[in-house]
Amino acid sequence: MHGTTVSTNAVIERKGPKVAFFVTEGYRDLLELQRMGLKNPLNIFEQRTKPLIGRSMVFQVEERLMRGGAVRTPVDQSALEALAQKAVAAGAEGFAVAFLHSYANARHEEAMAEAIRKVAGQHAEISLSSEIWPRIGEYERAIVSVLNAFVRKRMDEYIGKVETYVAGRLPGSQLFVTRSNGGAMAAEEARKFPVHTLLSGPASGVTAVQYLGRAMGENNILTLDMGGTSTDISIVRDGEVLTSNDAEVGDFPVVMPVTGIEAVGAGGGSVAVMDNGVLRVGPESSGSYPGPACFGRGGTAPTLTDAYLLAGYMPEDLRGVGMRLDREAASRAMSPIADALGQDVLGAAEMCIAVASSNMVAGVMPYLARHGVDPEDLALLVYGGAGAIHGPLLAAEIGVKRIIVPTTPSVFCALGGLVSELSNDLLETVHGADVDAELIAQKFAQLRDQSAAWLSRQAPAKRLVSTKFECWAEMRYAGQSFQVDVRLPDEAIDQRDLTTMYEAFHAEHQRIYSHCDRSSPVEFVDLRMRVRGGMTIPEPDSGETVREGRSLTGHRSMRFSGKVFPDVSIYDRVFLAEGEAIQGPAVIEQPDATIVVPPDYVARVGAFGSILMTRS
């Protein structure tokens, strides 16, 4: 099982092959116009996002479908081949196609693909919007096909190398790639549809949270993944991972079901700067090289990691990685910030941490409100390189009473890959159609057959230990401009019970918005089938046997909320006994992470070797 950020980096860095984009005549500026609105309409200097494909590589096709898929202007195959020849002559290495209303009728896009293959060869890399994600919304479908075409060549080459590597060392094995919805797919599928891997790394972390949470009996969890550049959050509610249809990668929306992850703040390598007298932390990052000043690799900018070291949260000697942090270098880097704030270096370091925490609170609280979740009802599970340092500080700010730190927080996302299921979503748009219970049942039956066929292409049946089909719908009240994702009860579909389907929508609308109107008419926009194919996964480990030795290893000075604690206890996680209580403030150290126990929290070793903190 392999997780990768190759496709993500390609989009963020805008490093991809020359791609030709074919659109319905009159829609040449589709990628330029985007969603019409600006991200920051109050900024008179705001610029629209520059498309991945320049206007010169956008080709207009004389064709037109009506809303329901009826043909208004048929395609001319010879004209399609002429356009394909023109694109090849312009240097196109990849091809994206998104025609108007192709979600309702894919024949015109398929004809374009046939023309491209005739001109460019049978192995031409073609991305059809109707094949990848056939939903209503021309820009949304267009950007998905463009993103897929943009990263396909790079991912195909990369996965090919990984497959060769694995085949030479593990004969008889099969390579799978994690995907943005928290599941996985066969490597061959990832090479053809790499757009599904754009958020696979963070999504795997949330999958790991779900796995560990179920084992521990924790079904409502706020996840916090803090790395070197950013902090990402998500929610596991009632044991299920929240999904979103409105994610972003770089400058572009990805309107497919993905694990609902939101960036809310800086990472350990984020740089602190004074901006017109205001202290800001991030978004600029020092990266791995040269990294924070305390790494001793030439970095001179003050970062959150430098602040952690100065505040006493991190040890100077990182024994697990054979590295010693340079406290003097961190102090020199932080001095300009301290001078600007009129503080000493330690006070400036704590202010940097406070600003980072404030930014996270400003992101976390609206996120929870949008999902109708009270932080007091959640446990906070922290991971990532800096998650166990800053996560507990954030918990005290937002009112979370329980904190979970897994055994290996810095590589926790890898566990998510190990326990992933094969998973895929298939969509049918029904907006504008006369929808009744019989039509819904027929559509889901078709989607179920297609989903089963997809699963059979991913792995031999002998690899699967379970198969599960889930029926979802995007629904809204008539006149609303947004939809609510609703899980439809299987029995309601089987029994053609439209009333129960509507009630599921009302209940979800009530949960999210504290309001529903059962007298208002309800519309179905999309029907979606998710298939899950479970494979053999390891049982949760009860944790390593505690070694004989002294858990308390020393003391050092730390700062919390403007107060200096001169004699904070430091513990070695390896020697902690199950149930041993550690009263905060304290620090628990292990080879791959540092865990901060804030004042008013008590930490204990819990199930599966996790550290559990509760507010005392």
Q: Which CATH number fits domain 422-535: 1.10.357, 1.20.1070, 3.30.1490, 3.40.50?
A: 3.30.1490
pLDDT tens track for 494-540: 999 999 999 999 999 998 888 999 999 999 999 999 999 999 988 87
pLDDT tens track for 204-240: 999 999 999 999 999 999 999 998 888 899 999 999 9
Mean pLDDT to the nearest integer, 303-314: 93
Instruction: Compute the distance between CA of residue 368 and CA of residue 382 in angstroms, rounded to an integer.
Output: 16
Q: How confident is the model at residue 607 (pLDDT cuts 50, 70, 90)?
A: confident
How many whole angstroms from its chain centre is CA 232?
Answer: 8
pLDDT recorded at residue 577: 83
Q: How confident is the model at residue 4 (pLDDT cuts 50, 70, 90)?
A: confident
What does residue 208 show for φ and ψ, rounded to 5 degrees?
-65, -40
Mean pLDDT to the nearest integer, 267-288: 88
Task: Name residue 393's beta-bridge partners.
Answer: none
Tokens of 487: 């899980």
Instruction: Identify how many contiguous H helices and E strands the chain contains and give both numbers.
Output: 16, 33
433 has pLDDT over 90: no
Instruction: Compute the distance between CA of residue 331 and CA of residue 334 in angstroms, rounded to an integer.
Output: 5
* Cα-based angle 236, 509, 483 (whole degrees, multiple of 5): 90
pLDDT recorded at residue 542: 65
Asked if residue 230 lies in contact with residue 266, where contact means CB atoms within 8 angstroms, the answer is: yes
Please give the share of the chain, as a percent, with pLDDT higher than 90.
68
pLDDT recorded at residue 264: 85
Task: Name residue 528's beta-bridge partners.
Answer: 427, 472
User: CA gyration radius for the chain?
Assistant: 26
Mean pLDDT to the nearest integer, 542-547: 60
Cα–Cα nearest to 345, from 356, 357, 354, 336 = 336
Asked if residue 272 lies in contact with residue 280, where contact means CB atoms within 8 angstroms, the answer is: yes
pLDDT recorded at residue 548: 62
pLDDT recorded at residue 35: 78
Asked if residue 227 lies in contact with residue 267, where contact means CB atoms within 8 angstroms, the answer is: yes
Q: CB 104: neighbour CB atoms within 10 A? A: 21
For 447-483, give one letter per residue: b (16+ CB within 10 A) or e: beeebeebbeebbeeeebeeeeebbbbbbbbeeeeeb
Q: What is the dihedral of CA 418, 208, 267, 15, to 10 degrees?
A: 50
pLDDT tens track for 140-164: 899 999 999 999 999 999 999 999 9
51 has pLDDT over 70: yes
Residue 172's region, left for phi above 0, alpha for psi from -120 to 50, else beta, is left
If you average pLDDT over every residue of the chain, what do you get?
A: 91
448 has pLDDT over 70: yes
pLDDT recorded at residue 543: 57
Task: Name residue 40's beta-bridge partners.
Answer: none
pLDDT recorded at residue 193: 95
33 has pLDDT over 80: yes
Start and end residues for every CATH 3.30.420 domain found in the chain: 199-419+541-616
pLDDT recorded at residue 544: 56
Burial class of residue 549 (count of CB atoms within 10 Å of its CB; 0-12, 13-18, 19+): exposed
Mean pLDDT to the nearest integer, 310-327: 86
Instruction: Give Cβ neighbours of residue 372 (< 8 Å, ≥ 6 apart).
Output: 511, 512, 513, 514
165 has pLDDT over 70: yes
Does the domain made of 199-419+541-616 have the CATH classification 1.20.58?
no
386 has pLDDT over 70: yes
pLDDT recorded at residue 552: 87
Burial class of residue 289 (count of CB atoms within 10 Å of its CB; 0-12, 13-18, 19+): exposed
Compute CA distances 465 → 39, 448, 452, 459, 551, whole Å: 45, 18, 14, 12, 42
Return the axis-axis angle of helices 387-398 and 345-370, rounded to nearest 10°: 70
For 294-401, list the strands marked E by DSSP: 317-318, 323-324, 379-383
558 has pLDDT over 80: yes
pLDDT recorded at residue 546: 58
Q: Which residue bears the tokens 């309702």? A: 104
pLDDT tens track for 52-109: 999 999 999 999 999 888 999 999 999 999 999 999 999 999 999 999 999 999 999 9
pLDDT recorded at residue 358: 93
Compare 191 and 578 and report the one with higher pLDDT: 191
Mean pLDDT to the nearest integer, 483-492: 94
Tokens of 319: 């024994």
Q: How confident is the model at residue 336 (pLDDT cuts 50, 70, 90)?
A: very high
Asked if residue 337 lies in contact with residue 348, where contact means CB atoms within 8 angstroms, the answer is: yes
- pTM attached to this predicted model: 0.87
pLDDT recorded at residue 515: 93
Q: How confident is the model at residue 353 (pLDDT cuts 50, 70, 90)?
A: very high
Q: What three-state secondary structure class fits 325? A: coil
Tokens of 509: 């609308």
Start and end residues for every CATH 3.30.1490 domain found in the chain: 422-535
Mean pLDDT to the nearest integer, 409-415: 91
Lowest mean pLDDT among 105-114, 126-135, 560-569: 560-569
pLDDT recorded at residue 117: 95
Instruction: Give Cβ neighbours of residue 315 (< 8 Å, ≥ 6 apart).
Output: 325, 556, 570, 587, 589, 594
Burial class of residue 70 (count of CB atoms within 10 Å of its CB; 0-12, 13-18, 19+): exposed
Mean pLDDT to the nearest integer, 456-481: 93
335 has pLDDT over 90: yes
Asked if residue 136 lies in contact with residue 525, where contact means CB atoms within 8 angstroms, the answer is: yes
- Three-state secondary structure readout of 472-521: EEEEEECCCCCCEEEECCHHHHHCCCHHHHHHHHHHHHHHHHCCCCCCCC
Q: How confident is the model at residue 547 (pLDDT cuts 50, 70, 90)?
A: low
pLDDT recorded at residue 285: 83
